[in-house]
Amino acid sequence: MSKADFQEIATAFDDAVDIYQDAASNLSAVKAPARVIGMHKALAQVFQEYADATQAMADALDVDKQAVDLEAFRNSETQQNDLIVKFGTQLRRVMMSAM
């Protein structure tokens, strides 16, 4: 793979991290109704952890060496998979409380 292609992939990861971190900040800043404050805090925390795991994945890419720290990359992937399930669970709780 060319260095330019590797850089493009790394940039796409970095862009995704920026989007997730912005979304995490926005979610955390939302004022939740009193009856769902705890669930909202848990939802925001899980999403922040997901964004952080995405950062770890992006950090596993070394553009200068054109290398991937496979252990860190795979650990991040596992974390993201676990966290997205937790996020979905928390989101369902919030949605069910609204009904």
The domain segmentation of the chain, as residue ranges, is 3-97
pLDDT one-digit tens code per residue, 73-87: 999 999 999 999 999
- Phi then psi for residue 24, to 5 deg, are -65, -40
Whole-angstrom Cα distance, residue 90 to residue 43? 6
Q: How confident is the model at residue 94 (pLDDT cuts 50, 70, 90)?
A: confident
Answer whether residue 47 shows pLDDT above 80: yes
Q: Quick one: pLDDT at residue 81?
A: 97
Cα–Cα distances (Å) from 6 to 1, 2, 87, in that order, read: 7, 6, 30
Answer whether residue 59 shows pLDDT above 90: yes
Whole-angstrom Cα distance, residue 75 to residue 45? 19
pLDDT, averaged across the chain: 94
Cα–Cα distances (Å) from 67 to 9, 54, 94, 95, in that order, read: 12, 17, 41, 42
Answer whether residue 98 shows pLDDT above 80: no
**DSSP 8-class letter at 92:** H
